[in-house]
A and B are shown apart, each in its own frame.
Chain A
Amino acid sequence: MLNGERLIERPLRWGMVGGGRTGQVGYKHRTGALRDGAYRLVCGAFDLDSERGRDFGVNLGVEADRCYADYKELIAKETAREDGVEVVSIATPNFTHYEITKACLEAGLHVICEKPLFFTVSECEEVAKLAEEKGLIVGVTYGFTGHPLVHQMAAMVKKGMLGDIRIVDMQYTHGFNSGDDVGAGEAVKWRTNPKTAGPTFVLGDIGTHLYYLSEIVLPHLKIEKLLCDRKAFIPTRAPLEDHATVLMHYDNGARGRLWVSSVNAGNMGSQRYRFVGSKASIEWSDSHPDQLIYEVQGEPNRTLHHGMPYLEEESLAVDRMGALHTEGLGDSWANIYLWIAQAIDAKNRANEAFLKTHHYPGIKAGTEGVRWLENCVRSADAGSAWVDFE
């Protein structure tokens, strides 16, 4: 069980690009990074409005002269310092991820980036090569994949408790964009514009979480074909989608169904996963994150609770709160940040043996997320046709 003790020898000197006062996601990054003493926030370019960014950073405890106007100034000034930043989190709109990540890597800084990582797989591969050459880590923040019950599901599948996997059913929906975009805020504007969001809206914004989580639970399954149907119920969002369904064929014959939507009016259900095998099914939702439904054919249904000693050791190893108390998104982010810190620490010491077995959402996870999106777009643009997964 994790208990907040520092698991690397010294806090990494950490900075943020974006994540300022006007957005929601910056707090999630800080919640994750600052929990275990694995990072120390030393600088930031928190806001496009540099004065507001400086005021915000100072309120967080960052020295005023280390609150910068933009990422270029941050890189230039921090790399000139002997105690300069070593890892930068990028919590900015999608279209900036690629250039900021590249600039950080070229300056010798590790990167933690929001998803979807970039617009194209070729950009991902180029950056992966650069990171490899420079000996640097790129982490990707897939929010809920640090939750102990996600790792319980993975352990149960690995142990064969479900039998052969037959059906994968996933849903991530909400209704916050059910109305039109007249008077919409900045967050909606950039997400619905292909120039700033990339080739998708809800698929990249929330569907990519479903895809990566399913990869953790079912690492042995590969998608062979998929069919993506996407639609903008609010026409001004076209060519991007505010709703999509994806059907998937896996290489073991399993069938998958994935629904993402931001126009599921009134819905606050958010994420739901159901994995069905030949012997049993499991189901987990972030609406009730402490509980994992475990249904064995012919036996009474069970509700497994996080933090309980009957869970698999992979799950208990990453539990933080203990069974009596809710374990949620903040705890999951803390795990992700900790795993990335351990990867950075190992990379700094060239400890490749540790990295070979260490699990964290890295450049490969980010690349596969973008690959899945590219296949979805290709299918949808071909008239919702089945396409071979490339």
Chain B
Amino acid sequence: MKLSICTDVMGDLSFTDMLDKCVKLGVEGIEMTGGGWSRAPHFRADELLADKGLLRSKLTEIEARGLEIAALNCSANPLDPGDMGKRHRKEMEQTIRLAGEIGVKTIVTMSGLPEATPGDMVPNWLVYTKSWPDEMPERDRYQWEDRAFPLWHDLVKLAKEAGVEKYALENFSAMLVWNPETLFRLRNEVGPTVGMNLDPSHLMWMGADPIASARALGDAIHHCHGKDTRIERGLADVNGLLELKDVTDVANRSWNYVAVGAGRDLQWWKEFFSVVRMCGYNGWVSLEMEDFTMSTEAGIQSSIDALQATISR
């Protein structure tokens, strides 16, 4: 395994300062964002597709520092029924094309989440049993068969044309694909180009055991994020794990995203990466740092230290 970092956390730094910082941190790769919800501070796909000179100068800067692009990221909802869905789908396609142009094999993204019935204005995450009320089965069928499958057949075709080998869909909440089972529902339809970006942090607050999830995924692990979650004792016991409060309201939330090692101990992380490697994945682990309980600087450094000590080399 090799260590990379999702560079959006350094969005306040210029491209070259960000690269220099990555070299100082000792990571070998970078995962940069091409579009979607992110403002894509360092590697906007539309901008770079239109300006090949700028693209090459950025690649030269990366090469000169001995860094590799681990993956391009486009966290987005291409199935949103509104204008955002159209924009996100376009930016996803641009990110795929850009990856193809520069030989990056993996796109880290999300499955998307559509409306529950034609005409709805907003996406609708169905996470309650679909057998009741009576309208639920049709909503579920509509979301998957009428909305998600056609999109993903198109995206798989585009990836093949562009030379991109893998989609790594994050097991992110409020998406159709949010755990191994939902990943396989899509993968069984559109084929093995689609796999998981195994991000243990979301599975933790959903109550899953990411080590067991890794075993279930097997060769469907296409990428891995290093990000931790802490279930806050006392609060989760009272209110449960569904949590709507702002992510910065750390003291009152029942769970928080934290620097790696501040949720689960290093023994757990060692086992996690060992099992992931055992299942056949020996690619990049990208640090995603979203800990609001400490400074960004400290969060990055302590996470890097934890990942360097635990990833399976």
Asked if A353 CB lies within 8 Å of chain B CBs, one says yes
- Contacting residue for A352 out of B58, B63, B94, B161, CB 8 A: B63
Select which of B52, B62, B161, B163 is within 8 A of A108 by beta carbon. B52
Q: A352 near B93 (CB under 8 angstroms)?
A: no
* Binary interface encoding of chain A residues 1-34 relative to chain B, with 1 for a CB under 8 A from any of its CBs, else 0: 0000000111100000000000000000000000
Q: Is A50 an interface position by the 8 A CB rule?
A: no
Q: In the complex the two chains form, is A9's CB within 8 Å of B63's CB? A: no
Stretch at the interface among A182-190, A283-291, A313-321, A342-350: A342-350
Q: A135: CB under 8 A from chain B? A: yes
Does A10 lie within 8 Å of B100, measured CB to CB? Answer: yes
In this assembly, does A134 line the interface, its C-beta being within 8 Å of a C-beta of chain B?
Answer: yes
The listed residue (B49, B57, B163) touching A10 by CB distance below 8 A is B163
Task: Report how far A8 CA is from B162 CA in the complex, Å.
Answer: 12
* Chain A, 87-122, CB within 8 A of any chain B CB: 108
Partner of B103 from the list A11, A345, A353 (CB cut-off 8 Å) is A345
Complex: A15 Cα to B256 Cα, angstroms: 53
Give every chain B residue within 8 A of A352 (Cβ-Cβ): 60, 63
Cα of A172 to Cα of B60 in the assembled complex, Å: 43
B101 CB within 8 Å of chain A: yes
B23 touches A (CB below 8 Å): no
Count how many pairs of residues, one from A and one from B, have CB atoms less than 8 Å apart in the complex: 50
The interface residues of chain A lying within 8 Å CB-to-CB of B103 are: 8-10, 345, 348-349
Categorize the interface residue count of chain A: 20 to 34
Residues of chain A within 8 A (CB-CB) of B49 are: 82
Q: Report if A83 contacts B (CB, 8 A).
A: yes
B2 beta carbon closer than 8 Å to chain A: no
Min Cβ gap A111→B in Å is 14
User: Do residues A10 and B56 form an inter-chain contact, with CB atoms below 8 A?
Assistant: no
Q: Which residues of A in the span 188-230 have a Cβ within 8 Å of any Cβ on B?
A: none
- Cα A104 to Cα B25 with chains together (Å): 41
Q: Is there contact, CB below 8 Å, between B163 and A9?
A: yes
> Which of chain A's residues have a CB closer than 8 A to the CB of B93?
82
B114 to chain A, nearest CB (A): 24
List residues of chain A with CB within 8 A of the CB of B63.
349-353
Docked Cα-Cα span, A133 to B102, in Å, equals 19
Chain B, Cβ-Cβ closest to A10: B163
B105 within 8 A of A: yes
Q: Is B235 positioned at the interface, with any CB of A under 8 Å from its CB?
A: no
A82, B56: Cβ atoms closer than 8 Å: no
Knowing A134-B52, A345-B103, the reply to whether A350 touches B161 (Cβ < 8 A) is: no
Choice from B56, B94, B161 contacting A135 with Cβ under 8 Å: B56
Residues of B within 8 A of A347 (CB): 56
In the complex, are the beta carbons of B102 and A349 less than 8 A apart? yes
Q: Which of B49, B53, B56, B94 is most buried by chain A, counting CB atoms within 10 A of its CB?
A: B56
Report 15 cross-chain contacts, Cβ distance below 8 Å, ordered by A residue: A8-B103, A9-B163, A10-B103, A10-B162, A82-B94, A83-B161, A133-B53, A135-B52, A345-B103, A349-B63, A350-B58, A350-B59, A351-B59, A351-B63, A352-B63
6 interchain residue pairs of minimum CB distance: A10-B163, A350-B59, A135-B56, A350-B60, A108-B52, A350-B56
Spell out A's residues near B (CB within 8 Å).
Answer: 8-11, 82-83, 86, 108, 133-136, 345, 347-353
